Structure 1
Amino acid sequence: MSDQPWVWISFNALLAILLFLDLVVLGRARTVSMREAILGTIFWTAVAGAINVVIFVFGSQTEGIDFLTAYIVERALSIDNLFVFLVIFTYFGVPGQYQMRALLWGIVGALIARAVFIAAGVAVINAFHPVVFVLGAFLIYTAYKLATSGDSEVDPEKNIALRLARKLFKVSDDYDGQKLITRLSGGALAATPMLMVIIVLATTDVVFAVDSIPSVLAITTDGFIVWSSNAMAVLGMRPLFFVLAGAVAHFRYLQYGLAAVLGFVGFKMISEDWIHIETNISLAVILIALAISMLASRVLPNNEETVETENPGVPGASSGSGE
């Protein structure tokens, strides 16, 4: 569908309208209730579903399944990133009523970065096909690291963009509502902690995109499918954060499901010239891998929680969060 201008114009116009409504019309500072978060998640999922229907109708069945598969992969990978966002908010002490706005601005920055990544990735693959072997090998390596690495700590203080921003701008100690720039008592302008939060959120998502975008490129190199599935998954991640923030630690086996997904799409990318895997089969494999990992998180006993219960006074006993 990438060769049809009306498709690009229509989707990006819809994207701009929805972002405008979120930023300007619905952008008042407020603490997001669970009801609002659930409704927001349903809304963005419905928008993605409607776009998928349009692709099926005006495109082809293959393109429709490609979008659905890419969207599910992106959405699944985003769940694993919610813990990182929670750490960032805790580190900066972001008041609850400002978290929605911080996430939205962070996502706007992430969308811009992803658009550049996607355009570059599609162009490189179309111009130099052997690069798919490099990307496929990278995904398999990432899958291995994800499956074998232990708990990793997230330290926003090590974020290079944050360090650079602090060198370039004077940063105020306190939040000034949702403002990104404030005026100090002496009259000087300074960046607010809110701006620092947005910088860290956006640049952190760039790191996530290094894994997720090659995964989608392994499914399809249709620029519109890659862009639209990415955009919908990223925008849907914002309300999903408030739904799953308290529960994400319980998906302790999700990393293995994600590792299986990354390994599979990496293999698919490398072997595409010799072994053609139908898109519907890819979709089934991805759904099964994610379902098994999430089901295992629910039904298998958590030994770390058992240890904590039996030894409540032991310093450093794990909470069983897996993070």
Structure 2
Amino acid sequence: MNALYGDSVASPTVWAITTVILVGVLALDIFVIARRPHEPTMAEVGRHLAVFVGLAVLFGIGLAVFAEPHALSPNPSAEFFAGWLTEYSLSVDNLFIFIIIMAKFGVPRQFQQTALMIGIVLALIMRGAFIVLGAAAINQFSWVFYIFGLFLVWTAYKLAREGGEDEDEYEENKLVRFAEKRLPATAEWHGTKLFARVGGKRLLTPMFFVVLTLGTTDLLFALDSIPAIYGLTRDPYIVFTANLFALMGLRQLYFLIGGLLERLIYLSYGLAFLLGFIGVKLILHAMHENELPFINGGHHIEWAPDIPIWLSLVVIVGTLAVTTVVSLIGSRNMTRAERDAVTGPRRDWEDD
């Protein structure tokens, strides 16, 4: 656990308080959804999203006021905002896949937010595990930044090469295919239940497979997002809270900007640039603190600069702004067929 606390901006008490608040918020959200599954209105999701974004901004300001700079986090507030914006932008890209998953399973609109909420809870648990593992690896082996950096550069290359063209070609992972073929299940929906008793037998419902697919898919997303945010801050508490605020708004974002997603035609390129930038930042940091004996004789490479967090924040905000503006301008002059060729066919929103 020393890897989590150490020189972190948060003490064990602060970690505990944050966790309690998180569980409380999630429990309240799930309780409300479980009692009244429905398709939320734009006004409803807009209010909720504004609350989550406002809380994230207040949290970042609170770090600026109360958090002291330390070894792992020289600028806690700026690092939080950079990490939160990066995670949020990656989450928007994830929504393309979520829409395809919902369409593939034919999830009724009134059940979609329940599926999303459960999937997000699972995602938070899995990302929490990645955060702990990442913190432990960084604490023990500084060379892990080489691995993180190279992985992000490779991911950026693949994302830029695909350019979003393969978003519609979603295929179930092996675990989901195995579950569908081998486990007893019913094709009928039973509200938001994961299990149902039919003819005296306990069967899995379609909702179970939706949740399983969302959870395992987000596990793959975490392979990109966790190394990316560790390239912006080494403080696990900031990594955790940035992921938390991004995930807590993801469900609302899914319903609010469904129609906008098809117009973000260059989002993949913007994210590819961001991941590449953070990957290079990680590699430079690894070179600056190099201890590998086969690189520079195991000595630090002093000429390798550490990119400051303020520059990272400027690059992140600038990239997201330019990507959004250029996408909206470019899509305005495109036909529906041309936009579909870039982002994949519009699925769940076309009759709204």
Q: TM-score, normalised by structure 1?
A: 0.92
In structure 2, C-alpha distance between the alignment counterparts of 1:251 and 1:130, rounded to whole Å: 36
- Is the 2:96–2:167 Cα contact (8 Å) retained in structure 1? no
Which residue, out of 214, 217, 230, partners 1:217? 230
Match of residue 192 from structure 1: 205
Q: Is the 8 A contact 2:97 2:167 kept in 1?
A: no
Does 1:57 pair with 2:71? Answer: no
Aligned to 1:233: 246
Q: 1:299 to 1:153 in 2, by over 3 A?
A: closer
Q: Which moved more, 1:25-34 or 1:282-291?
A: 25-34
What is the match of residue 313 of structure 1? none
Partner Cα separation in structure 2 for residue 262 and residue 133 of structure 1: 14
Q: Does 1:47 align with 2:55?
A: yes
Distance 1:82 1:302 in 2: 21
> 1:160 and 1:172, CA in 2 relative to 1: closer, same or farther beyond 3 A?
same
Give the 3 Å change call, closer, same or farther, for CA 238–318 of structure 1 in structure 2. closer
Residues 163-182 of structure 1 correspond to what in structure 2 (within 5 A)? 163-182=177-196
1:282 aligned to which of 306, 312, 317: 312
Structure 1 position 66 matched with structure 2 position 50: no
Q: How does 1:102-141 map to 2 (within 5 A)?
A: 102-141=115-154
User: Following TM superposition, by how much is the alpha carbon of 1:5 offset from its aligned partner in structure 2, in angstroms?
Assistant: 1.2
Query: 1:91, 1:156 within 8 Å by CA — same for their partners in 2?
Result: no
Alpha-carbon distance in 2 for matches of 1:154, 1:125: 36
RMSD value, Cα: 1.8
Question: For 2:262, what is the secondary structure of its paired residue?
Answer: helix
* Residues 1:318 and 1:270: Cα distance change in structure 2 (over 3 Å): closer
Identity %: 37
Give 3-state SS (helix, strand or coil) of 2:279's partner. helix
- Tell me by how many angstroms 1:243 deviates: 0.7
The Cα offsets for residues 282-322 of structure 1, whole Å up to 9 and x where unpaired, read as 1001111111111111223677628x5xxxxxxxx773552
1:215-266 deviation digits (Å, cap 9, x = unpaired): 0010111110101111110111110000111220110011111111101101
* SS of aligned partner of 2:203: strand
Secondary structure, counterpart of 1:170 in structure 2? coil
**Residue of structure 1 equivalent to 2:72:** none
| 1:251 and 2:264 are equivalent in the alignment | yes
Check whether the contact 1:302–1:320 (CA below 8 A) recurs between aligned residues. Answer: no
Residue 349 of structure 2 corresponds to which residue in structure 1? none
1:12 is aligned with what amino acid? Answer: T
- Displacement of 1:124 in angstroms is 0.6
Tell me if 1:7 matches 2:14.
yes
User: Structure 1, residues 49-81: CA drift from partner, whole Å, max 9, x if none?
Assistant: 222223222213610111110000000011111
TM-score, normalised via structure 2 length: 0.84
Tell me the residue number matched to 1:322: 343
Aligned-partner Cα distance in 1 for 2:272–2:172: 25
SS at match of 1:219: coil
Stretches of structure 1 lacking an aligned partner (at least 5 in a row)? 309-316
State how far apart, in whole Å, the 1-side matches of 2:175 and 2:319 are. Answer: 35
- Decide which moves more: 58-67 or 159-168: 159-168
- Is contact 2:46–2:256 with CA below 8 Å preserved after alignment? yes
Structure 1 pair 25–44 and aligned structure 2 pair: CA distance change class (3 A): same
2:9 and 2:76 in contact (8 A); partners too: no
User: Are the equivalent residues in 2 in contact too, given 1:250–1:321 (CA < 8 A)?
Assistant: no
Partner in structure 2 of residue 79 of structure 1: 92
SS in 2 for 1:183: strand
For 1:55 and 1:11, locate their aligned partners in 2 and report how far apart those are by CA, in whole Å: 13
Distance 2:238 2:317 in 1: 19
Cα distance in structure 2, aligned partners of 1:176 and 1:20? 22
Which residue of structure 2 lines up, in the alignment, with residue 299 of structure 1?
A: 329
**CA distance in structure 2 between the partners assigned to 1:161 and 1:50 by the alignment:** 40
In structure 2, the gaps of 5 or more residues are: 1-7, 70-74, 289-303, 345-352
Query: What is the number of equivalent residue pairs in this alignment?
Result: 313
